[in-house]
A and B are shown apart, each in its own frame.
Chain A
Amino acid sequence: MISRHLGWKRVTLVLLLIIYSLIVGEIALRLVAPVPLIPRFVTGAPYGVRMNIPDSTYWHTTSEAKVEVRINGQGMRANTDVTYPKPDNTCRVLLFGDSVMMGFEVEYDDTFAHLLGQRLRTAGYNAEILNLAVSGFGTAEMLIAFRAEGVKYRPDVVVFQWHNTDPKNNAGARLFDVEDGKLVATGRTYLPGVAIRDWLSRFGTYDWIVQNSQLYTAVRERAASWYKSAIRTYRKFELSRDTARKAAPKTTKKNVATELDLLLLKRSQGEAEAAGAQFLLLDTPGRVTRTRFKSAFDLLPPTIGDEMATLTPLDRFQQAAGNDTLLFREKGHGHYTELGNKLLTDSVFDYLTASSWLAGCRIR
């Protein structure tokens, strides 16, 4: 009896010590190396890739900004819902991209999508900007999301973001491959970490933990990094064993666009045009230093501009840059600041208004 009592006492003490150690760890990280809390609330869409959890609201917290992220019933970052039927005399601009396009680390009113809509309406265009961006997306996922969901909105303009993470994401998704110079579908789903996330969300405190615990975020990011590293190593091993693929390696050590990426872009363009929309490939430059930036288009062949409509805000970024001017968050995950989003908006606004793409919805 006494020994059982002592046994329980020991177990309780150990458990309390573990919990206390976790608290000490949380304090240690907040003091020494604060971790940005930028959770991604995604789930599996019926069409096999990720989508933002509909009707969800969560917070991003870094030492630079605390931002509310609200997702509407259709999985878009928006304050209101959207219906499939397009109102009369309205132009729809669909945006596909990743967390940069979603406007992570800025309030909704400062996102590129919201600012673009506001500016177009102010300029006399009856335009709706539908932000179908999902954090972590690559071109392959954007294409599938466009096919399954985007076309239903009958867009007039489809904007695909091109980011320096796209070649890696496209290769890693394994949704498409290249055979005899043609794009073929090879996978029906790509839902990394979604099953785990969905399971953990069943516990009420999980959502609170991902938004508030820096220790949990650090552990999760480290585990994800190890997992991705292990997958990459395994795939390199697979590639080296597969003699058929040896002749035409799909990925190289250097991060450049491959045949897969180019075919995905062309297919996306083709399907957008087949749906009656104009297609625009939008560069989202990366940061080298506070005053130097790098275009993601550097990863693409220089002839890409001949094959499809492309746009880069790089010049605007360089002109606006200064030692005291922040275009990128420095303490978070490096997303655009309010100014960065504004410059992106200015670029796209000028492009769209100079083109005739939105002529049908000009009201004044």
Chain B
Amino acid sequence: MLFHTYTFLLFFLIFIAFYLATRNNLQRQNIVLLVASYAFYAGWDERFLILIAGSTACDYIAGLGMARLGNVRREACKAVVAVIALSTLVLLPTFAESGHFLILVGIGSALFLAAVFYLERRDTEDLRRHYLTLSIILNLGLLGVFKYFDFFAASLYDLGQSAGITLDPFTLDVVLPVGISFYTFQTMSYTIDVYRKRIPATTSVIQFATFVAFFPQLVAGPIERAAHLLPQFAKRREITWRNIESGATLFIWGLFKKAVVADHLAAVSDKVFANPDAYSSGDIIVALIAFTFQIYCDFSGYSDMARGIGRMLGFDIMLNFNLPYIARTPSEFWRRWHISLSTWLRDYLYIALGGNRGGAYKTYRNLALTMLLGGLWHGANWTFVLWGAYQGLLLVIYRVLRVDDHLDKLSGRRGAALACNLAAWSIMFVLIVFGWLLFRATSVDHIQQLLSGLTTNPSLASALWLDVARVLLPLLFIQALQMFKNELEVLPLLPIWLRYHVGVFVIWCVVFGAARGTREFIYFDF
């Protein structure tokens, strides 16, 4: 169910009625949120609920276990019963075809219970680490099976073939559950923070389950931190007209970026990327620029819609994009792009690997490895790994050259600073666009095809510039306002005449200027 569809509008209207009706009872309101979030997720495939419920149950129990709260064995049994009951409910309509999954759920539940019962017999210090390990194994296991198994199996088979060894190709052919990369990372952030004693474990399974499944940010982020979002389920939400107005504004802005800008740009980039040999070098450059802004508007548009909905409900969801294309260096880019993922990787992977403690070589290694795995997070394809490696290489090169430090030193010298910043920005933008070529390509051969197309009779001439410029210019104008006012939610800061024109322009575009046909969000595939 996409945010910009009538189905979602109907869902939201029904949900908001119940949400407002329960505003004086926090527990009931959280239950309404949880049921709505599960219904929202079930809109893709009700079987996905088994996985999210399983991940929720495991991490909730792991939190209790690490914090030694309550009777962990009893809570684990209750959690398992709930997961089995939910699994039975969702598999009942298609029992003939899907009933065998119940056996898998049963086996998984039995193993989980066995692990919990075993752990509860061990001493305290090891226990916390073991519960964390259990959480990581289950969450990464889910990712491994549903997202990466077929990819690695196929890659192994190809490797064998190239080495003259014939292996039996074995794949699971499983559907990738929407949002699995997001909610598994979100729940792991909870268990890791509880382990590090940064946050207390929660004893409310409803609050925790709602935190994991919270529908505005469930399927495409932002990847929230438990420290930020979980406490918001433990206190009464203020639904004010101010929040509704600013939330609705944020939602409409996100909708403009997604349905007007991103989807129109997709019409240009898709046709060129599908058949690059049929297009000129100039056309491929235009398609790259189009994709650069398509992926930004698609993803940040979704994040803004998620934040807007959350704000209307009284929640504060973290910022995920902060004008990333004004970045002058890779580290600045990653402070502005997909902030929730980059900070997650920094806090839970880069620092765990040692961060920048341990000398230059280890710092570079940790940077490269973090970005490599960050690339792999995006999808089961070598092009994503290549993109991650490329991003890691950029970070290392810029760090070796100390570009950030040099640019910071120029802050007192206006003329030199302007020139150097412009130069740094230009170079960075080209590097970012090239990175998106690696990201968008469907295979290594496709990358070669695109590079060949770019370098054959290189030229900027293309009939496609107009199609791209017509949607980019309004976006860039508004983003320029955001940049100069140093505020993303810039509308209230504008003079009334400009606020009126921007507002009316965006609304007309959203209502009548959206691209025909509803395209899914790019990051749903991750």
Contact = CB atoms under 8 A, between A and B. Distances in A.
Interface of A: 21, 24-25, 27-29, 31-35, 215, 218-219, 222, 323
A27 B501 CA distance: 11
B361 interface: no
Given A25-B512, A222-B512, A323-B278, A32 B504 contact: no
Contacts of A31: 470, 473-474
A25 B508 contact: yes
Contacts of B474: 31-32
Contacts of B50: none
B505 interface: yes
A32 B501 CA distance: 15
B504 A25 contact: yes
Interface residues of B, number: 18
Contact of B470 (A21, A32, A35, A219): A32
B501 A33 contact: no
30 contacts: A21-B504, A21-B508, A24-B504, A25-B504, A25-B508, A25-B512, A27-B505, A28-B504, A28-B508, A28-B513, A29-B508, A29-B513, A31-B470, A31-B474, A32-B264, A32-B470, A32-B471, A32-B474, A32-B509, A33-B260, A33-B471, A33-B509, A33-B513, A33-B514, A35-B512, A218-B513, A219-B512, A323-B275, A323-B278, A323-B279
Interface in B243-280: 260, 264, 275, 278-279
Contacts of A218: 512-513
Interface of B: 260, 264, 275, 278-279, 470-471, 473-474, 501, 504-505, 508-509, 512-515
A50 B105 CA distance: 61
A219 B513 CA distance: 11
Contacts of A323: 275, 278-279
Contacts of A33: 260, 264, 470-471, 509, 512-515
Contacts of B275: 323
Contacts of A21: 504, 508
Contacts of B264: 32-33
A218 B501 CA distance: 20
A293 to B, nearest CB: 16
A323 B280 CA distance: 11
Nearest to A27: B505
A32 B278 contact: no
Given A21-B504, A33-B260, A28 B509 contact: yes
Contacts of B504: 21, 24-25, 28
A96 to B, nearest CB: 29
A29 B507 CA distance: 11
Contact of A24 (B470, B501, B514): B501
A108 to B, nearest CB: 27
Contacts of A24: 501, 504-505, 508
A21 B508 CA distance: 9
B201 to A, nearest CB: 49
A232 to B, nearest CB: 14
A33 B512 CA distance: 8
A294 to B, nearest CB: 18
Given A28-B513, A29-B509, A32-B471, 15 more contacts: A21-B508, A24-B504, A24-B508, A25-B504, A25-B512, A29-B513, A31-B474, A32-B260, A33-B264, A33-B514, A35-B512, A215-B512, A218-B513, A219-B512, A222-B512
A118 B264 CA distance: 41
Nearest to A31: B470
